[in-house]
Amino acid sequence: MSFGQLPYDVAHVLGGAMLLLSCMLLYQRRVAAVITALALQGGVLAAAAAWQGYVQGAPQLFLTALIALLAKAVLIPLALRLLVRRFDLDRTVETALGIGASMLAGIALVALAILVVLPVTGGAQAVAREDLALALSVVLLGMLMMITRRNAILQVVGLMSLENGLILAAVGVAGMPLVVELSTAALVLVVLVVGAVFLLMIRGEFASTDTGLVERHRGEAE
């Protein structure tokens, strides 16, 4: 690692903060707290994108930052919160894997991300490769969250956190064409719309958003 250069240091701090928030997502026991952590992660992502825009002199990244700030730090968490309050969804996190075990698995995944990315990216610029390791960690932790939570809202949160990691990777690569960032942002909105419709529909059929209940319907007649 190369300390002492401001652009690198700030990028690393922001990337590290996102990873920290991913871990927070994993150990929260209440849905409301998970949503707060997600909003914070969206805010840090916006800061990371804006910083990269400033460092790389790429104005389009400010747009990415703005979209992240509006959608991920404000609107989506607000909508999720409303959903939770309106339907009085289960406030306690139901897990398929215990909190402690999830954290251990999370640490193993971060180690895996670093072991995978750092050796193969020797040729790339230092800032890109370390950002990539952090981003991959966030992606893997998001995936872990999707696997280990049984609540539909938390699975959507996991998917969004996973996408935060993707955007962190995209903004860290200098010159990445704009189309990818814009489409990713659009994707998140659509995903949420779809996700919300699903939640409401599942909610209409069942008493909770516990997807463990849905899994009985395999269609293959018993």
Partner 1 sequence: MPLPWITVFLPWLGAAILAAIPQERLAVRANVAISALGCLCTLGLVAVPGGEQGWTRIDALNLPLVILGGVIGLTTSIFSAGHVRAEGFDTLRLRGYHAAFQIFLGAQALALLADNLGVMWVAIEIATLASVTMVALHGTPAALEAAWKLFLLCGVGIALALFGTIILYLAAQPFVGHGDHGLSWVVLRGLAARCDPGLLNLAFVFLLVGYGTKAGLVPLHAWLPDAEAEGPVAITAVLSGLLLNAALHAVLRAKAIVGSNPGTIAPGHLLLGFGLASVLLAAFSLWRRRDARRFFAWSSIGHIGLAATAFGLGGLAGNLAGLLHMIGHSLSKSAVFFAVGHAAQRKGSQQIAAIGGLIASDPALGWGLAIAIAAVAGLPPFLLFASEFLLVMEAAARLPWLLAPLLVGLVVAAIAKIGVLQRLCLGAPTPDARPPGPGLTTLGPLWVHLGLCLLLGLGLPGPLRALFDAAARIPG
- DSSP-H helix ranges across the chain: 6-27, 31-56, 60-67, 76-87, 99-120, 126-148, 152-172, 178-205, 211-214
Write the CA distances from 103 to 28, 169, 200, integer angstroms. Answer: 11, 23, 30
Specify the residue, 13 or 143, whose C-beta has the smaller distance to partner 1. Answer: 143
Q: Which stretch binds partner 1 (CB under 8 A): 12-20, 76-84, 105-113, 203-211?
A: 203-211
Q: 100 vs 198, which CB is nearer to partner 1?
A: 198
CA atoms of 125 and 164, how far apart (whole Å) = 22
Shortest gap between Cβ of 200 and partner 1 (angstroms)? 11
Report the distance separating Cα 51 and Cα 46, nearest Å.
9
CB of 48 to partner 1, least distance (A): 15
- 196 part of the interface to partner 1, by CB under 8 A: no
Nearer to partner 1, 38 or 100 (CB): 38
Q: Per-residue string for binding with partner 1, 142-181, x by CB under 8 A?
A: -x--x-----x--x---x--xx-xx--xx--xxxxxxxx-
Q: Is 178 helix (H, G, I), strand (E, B) or coil?
A: helix
**Alpha carbon separation from 202 to 60, 159, 208, 214 (Å, rounded):** 38, 18, 8, 8
Is 184 a residue that touches partner 1 (CB under 8 A)? yes
97 makes contact with partner 1 (CB under 8 A): no
Q: Does 71 bind partner 1 (CB under 8 A)?
A: no
- CA atoms of 44 and 21, how far apart (whole Å): 9
Distance CA 18, CA 2 (A): 20
Task: Indicate whether 208 belongs to the interface with partner 1 (CB under 8 A).
Answer: no
Q: Does 190 bind partner 1 (CB under 8 A)?
A: yes
Alpha carbon distance 26, 36 (integer Å): 13
Residue with tokens 């949420």: 192
Q: Which residues of the shown chain bind partner 1 in the complex (CB under 8 A)? A: 116-117, 119-124, 128, 132, 135-136, 139, 143, 146, 152, 155, 159, 162-163, 165-166, 169-170, 173-180, 183-184, 187, 190-191, 194-195, 198, 201-202, 205-206, 211, 214-215, 217-221
